[in-house]
Structure 1
């Protein structure tokens, strides 16, 4: 394991621990505030993709309700076997999974229906383990969103919105050449928009902010 990969592993452990240490009462308040902030990205007739939460990731149940009320078209990720590039399928009214993601501890539900790629979405809500002040994201390490967004980058869509708790943001994360910053980060403290810089050089990571 190289130095950057090891540092990312250490950061994931630290940031997950911070997220897990949020009390149930704090989590409930933070999720409500965050989803209220996210509602600005929900537009009638537009395609918006949400994620299926894993572990202690933020739940978006209220946002699903808001999107349905406004007439937005809701999509969720669909993982094709042996491929890192995500498809997206519409979230059915009765969310009965076509299949779980077998042979994986993630157990992400998968739904049948017509599949589209990321560039066909208007907004993509992205889960994260950490995010820095420039908009660079630290994910689970699987590479699904990195590969999917890299394939979509020339189209100008989708608008990317990272979602998490305030304690998941830190000053600087280690980045690699393929990393691209998100457009926004939304947490209980509000909406942060990032400028899209030219490719930045690899940075020396700093200690993440504490909750």
Structure 2
């Protein structure tokens, strides 16, 4: 299973690395529009006037979420960024607004400082290496989002949206019992509701 996941991850990330600067720019704007529309729809259907929305800060060739963060903040939604403390341990989500300074976390990620309030999100936009149309994601191998969702979902309703380029789609993502399913997948081309 590990070898299959490793090879799928390697191939999907290699495809992601081939996305051009122009394609990445267009994808970021497309996902910002689509992501904002989804949060507005979820807000209306769940009755949460201002849901707390977690969006990852992009690294390497990940789909750029900064336009989405700015769009959500302009509409008055509370944005939080994930903070990673340990592999296979749940994330902490801290307040962030465009213009806030970020600090380098212990794993080299840009994160809000420890003095920012921590909040449990209602909506999580999650990065991933590969995905399938059944709603399963292949992450980077640390088990962090699975651990986070296993802890968070019993406490409150949370909608999880995997963000990726369409080139990261796989026919089938191998799963294990601890793998948490996504509620939606969003690419530069479409919003996918898992079958």
Equivalences for residues 30-109 of structure 1 within 5 A: 30-43=27-40, 45-80=50-85, 84-97=89-102, 99-102=103-106, 104=107, 106-109=108-111
- TM-score norm. by structure 1 comes to 0.81
Stretches of structure 2 that go unaligned for 5 or more consecutive residues are 41-48
Cα distance, 1:28–1:74 mapped onto 2, change above 3 Å: same
Matched position secondary structure for 2:99 = coil
Equivalences for residues 75-154 of structure 1 within 5 A: 75-80=80-85, 84-97=89-102, 99-102=103-106, 104=107, 106-112=108-114, 113-116=116-119, 120-154=120-154
Stretches of structure 1 that go unaligned for 5 or more consecutive residues are 196-211
d(CA) in 2 for partners of 1:192 and 1:130? Answer: 14
User: 1:29 maps to which residue?
Assistant: 26
Equivalences for residues 167-182 of structure 1 within 5 A: 167-182=167-182
How many Å apart are 1:108 and its aligned residue? 3.3
d(CA) in 2 for partners of 1:65 and 1:108? Answer: 16
Write out per-residue CA displacement over residues 123-165 of structure 1, whole angstroms, 9 at most, x where no aligned residue. Answer: 0100011101101000011111110001122245210000010
How many Å apart are 1:92 and its aligned residue? 3.9
Residue correspondences, number: 186
d(CA) in 2 for partners of 1:157 and 1:86? Answer: 17
d(CA) in 1 for partners of 2:162 and 2:59? Answer: 15
Cα distance, 1:15–1:71 mapped onto 2, change above 3 Å: same
How many Å apart are 1:31 and its aligned residue? 1.9
d(CA) in 1 for partners of 2:85 and 2:155? Answer: 22
How many Å apart are 1:41 and its aligned residue? 2.8
1:79–1:110 CA contact under 8 A, matched in 2: no
Question: Which protein has the larger Cα radius of gyration, Structure 1 or Structure 2?
Answer: 1
Matched position secondary structure for 2:161 = strand
Cα distance, 1:82–1:34 mapped onto 2, change above 3 Å: closer
Q: Which runs of 4+ in 1 moved over 4 A?
A: none
**Pairwise CA RMSD of aligned residues?**
1.8
d(CA) in 1 for partners of 2:156 and 2:194? Answer: 15
d(CA) in 2 for partners of 1:54 and 1:28? Answer: 14
Matched position secondary structure for 2:59 = coil
